[in-house]
Chains A and B, each alone.
Chain A
Amino acid sequence: MAVQIREGVRTEKKTAALAASGVCKAFRPARVTPGGTTVRAVDSVSLSVWRGEIYGLLGANGSGKSTLIRLFSTLLTPDAGTVRVFGLDIDRDELAVKRLINRVSVEASFFKKLSAMENLVYAGRLYGVAPEESRPKIVSILRRLGIEDARMTEPLEKLSRGMQQKVAIARAFLSTPMLLLLDEPTTGLDIRSKREVQTFVRDLRDEHDATILLTTHDLDEAARLADRIGILHQGRLVAEGTALELAARHGGGSLEDVFMTLTGRRLDDADASEPERPT
């Protein structure tokens, strides 16, 4: 079934890898929380990401980026609206959608006592990749991401945050997803690791026909990697286009200026003042 879906989508030309229409998600406070109010984390978002595209979703902390990624990765169900991945509805065709996607979150989440190799072999099995196939692939991906062979068999808790994040990227890549959802994959990484990951993301798209939705609050990263950029503010998609289109449409200048024009704040200031919203 998964092979049929993959073959089908590979032969089509202009395909919406991801199509979201009028997606809403609100979180109600727990009954025991006095004075809590319902938070509208995602508010009528509609967007399309074309096959082979890198789409950058830019927004401050609490703007709804992670909620949107969790909706797209079947971890949340929308209150309203529809989400389709290569034409498949994420609710009705959930299992088929899961075979086509993978995700890297801001926190590299692993069984910390297990090694990178053990975690990745396990992850491969969940996506139907047998260990004899996954092991050489894992070594190759991790080497390419700059992880030495000796570190691959060490418990992950002994690896640095940057290395763990690279292993998380390797996990997502291992299943050769048609749609890769990257939720702030370079947050907290040093400059060199950040560049290595960014290069890898680009290579992944170019060499493996992957479509990538990338959330970030790093303007340089968005400009460097994304073919198109969407700006999310308080759960709403307030602008969308290439970096040049956005600049032309919103008074010229840099992406930072565009962000400020649309949201009324600089991205750094918005990060500092926005309260964390539920994801």
Chain B
Amino acid sequence: MKSLKLYFKYIRINMLSGLQYKGWWLMILQTLIVVVTDPIGIILLFYRFGSVGEWSVEKILLIYAIAVTSFGLAETFSRGFDYFPWRMIRSGDFDRILLRPCSVFVQVAGSFFHIHRISRVFGGFCAIIWCMLKLDAVFSPLNVLVLIMALIGGYFAYTGVFVMTSGIAFFTIEGLDWIYIFTNASYQVTRCPIDYMPKILRNLFTFFMPMLVISYYPASAICGWGEGYAKGLLALPAGLAFLGFSLYIWRFGVRHYQSTGS
């Protein structure tokens, strides 16, 4: 309870300091433009080629939007881990955190907060609603529950990626760019219709990093494309499991931390 209060205090202070810049709303606008223009390639491709079998542009966009929204949530509320390797290990600031008698996890998670990241959540959420309306999905209590569980599960999964990166960063900081495959590049995978997706991609993003479990299966359950609700509800446990695995790596890293900086 105490750590939760501390976390929100951190977030509040970081948010207020961000608002000091005169152009802060321009940053929100900028991120919103990024979010809106990112799927432009796939939309234009559908415009020229038409649907792929039974895969229409709305179906693809729904899966894509769920993944993007979860990523946005993780980016908004666990930003500290995203920045951790570069901002805290290199400078030696992590030593100071270790000295304080509070949860290390909370202190790192709350260490950065950028208000403009919320526009990714906002844009993604609008896209989800638009696609569901277009696809005539029913907004029944069960469907809404599946969607919310999917987003929370997705938040855990993407936070897991950030935590894992930070854990690995204790051992090597050079060449961490490949982790990009599991963050910004991961939701690009959803542009492939799932029936045609190469097996290796499908397995990687189902059984290792559960990106498809938190996006495709819930979407399929909600709109009735053939996957059942049981698989749709797997999103939350899968996200938690991945976060648990990442926390294990993180703990291992913290135990082996040798101070840097001066």
A joins B in a complex: no
**B positions within 8 Å CB-CB of A:** none
